C-alpha cells in the first residue's frame, strides 16, 4: 500500500500532503484540503456532483486519484466568487433562473459551466446543453439549469435550439 507526497494548487493556494495511492481526488479535496463544496454523490462517476476544474477542464473528481493531481491546478466551487462575495457569472445565472432547489448537484453543474465559459469565446448553447448531460439533478427537472446555460451562451430565449 503505497504513500505519495503531492503538491496541488487549489483555488490559488498550494497544498502539500502525503496520500495513499488509492485516495480519490474528491475525498482529498473534502477531507484533507477542506473544500466541502465538492459534493460526493455516487462516488463512481455517474452523478457529476463532484465535478471540479483540473488544469482548465471539468472532470469528475471521484474518477481521479489524488496522487494523479500532483502538480495540477484545481478550482473548486469555493474558488469562483470574488472575495467580496460577488458571484461568478455562472453562479449568478443559476441564481437568476432559479436553477437549484436542494443544491446538492449545484457545485458540479457550476464547475462544468464555468469550465466551458472561461475562454474569450462564448460557447454555443448546444455545447453547454450537451455538457449538462453529465449531471444528475433530482429536484429541478433541469429547466432552470437549461435556462441558465442558454443565458450564458447569450441565447436566453433558446432560439438556436
Partner 1 sequence: MKPAPLDYLAPTTIEEACERLAEAGGGATVLAGGQTLMPLLALRMSQPFILIDINRVAALKGVARAAGETWIGPMMRQNEVITHPTLTSALPVLVAATRHIGHHQTRNRGTIGGSIALGEPAAELPATAVALGAAVEVRSTRRTRRIAAEDLYLGPYTTALEFDELITALHFPDWPAGTISLFRKVAMRAGDFALLGLTGAVAARDGRIERAGIAWFGMGPTPVKARRVEAALVGEPIAGLDVRALAELAVADTAPLDDQHASAEYRRTVARRIFARTLSEGLDGRRSA
* Closest approach of partner 1 to the CB of residue 16, in Å: 18
Residue 43 binds to partner 1 (criterion: CB under 8 A): yes
Distance CA(62)–CA(118), nearest Å, equals 23
Given 38, 58, 93, 114, the residue binding partner 1 (CB under 8 A): 58
Distance CA(75)–CA(58), nearest Å, equals 9
Measured in degrees and rounded to the nearest 5, phi and psi for residue 6 equal -130, 150
Given 44, 98, 138, 161, the residue binding partner 1 (CB under 8 A): 44
Alpha helices in the chain (DSSP H): 25-27, 89-96, 106-116, 125-131, 143-152
* Closest approach of partner 1 to the CB of residue 111, in Å: 9
Task: Classify residue 53 as left (phi > 0), alpha (psi -120 to 50) or beta.
Answer: beta
Task: Classify residue 17 as left (phi > 0), alpha (psi -120 to 50) or beta.
Answer: beta
Nearer to partner 1, 100 or 131 (CB): 131
Residue 62 binds to partner 1 (criterion: CB under 8 A): yes
Given 15, 35, 37, 48, the residue binding partner 1 (CB under 8 A): 48
Q: How many residues bind partner 1 (CB under 8 A)?
A: 31
Given 9, 17, 63, 142, the residue binding partner 1 (CB under 8 A): 63
**What is the number of alpha carbons within 13 Å of residue 84 lying toward its C-beta?**
1
Which residues form the interface with partner 1 (CB under 8 A)?
Answer: 1-2, 4, 20-24, 27, 43-46, 48, 51, 57-60, 62-65, 67-68, 112, 116, 130-131, 133-134
Amino acid at each position: 500500500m503505497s504513500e505519495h507526497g503531492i503538491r496541488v494548487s487549489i483555488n490559488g493556494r498550494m497544498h502539500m500532503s502525503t496520500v495513499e495511492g488509492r485516495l480519490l481526488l474528491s475525498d482529498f479535496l473534502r477531507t484533507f484540503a477542506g473544500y466541502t463544496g465538492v459534493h460526493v454523490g455516487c462516488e463512481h462517476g455517474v452523478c457529476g456532483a463532484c465535478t471540479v476544474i483540473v488544469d482548465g477542464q471539468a472532470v469528475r473528481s471521484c474518477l481521479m486519484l489524488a496522487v494523479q493531481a500532483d502538480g495540477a491546478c484545481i478550482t473548486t466551487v469555493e474558488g469562483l466568487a470574488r472575495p467580496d462575495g460577488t458571484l461568478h457569472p455562472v453562479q449568478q445565472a443559476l441564481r437568476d433562473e432559479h436553477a437549484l432547489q436542494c443544491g446538492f448537484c449545484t457545485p458540479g453543474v457550476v464547475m462544468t459551466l464555468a469550465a466551458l465559459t472561461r475562454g474569450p469565446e462564448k460557447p454555443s448553447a448546444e455545447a453547454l446543453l450537451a455538457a449538462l448531460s453529465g449531471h444528475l439533478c433530482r429536484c429541478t427537472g433541469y429547466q432552470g439549469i437549461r435556462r441558465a446555460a442558454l443565458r450564458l451562451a447569450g441565447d436566453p430565449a433558446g432560439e438556436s435550439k
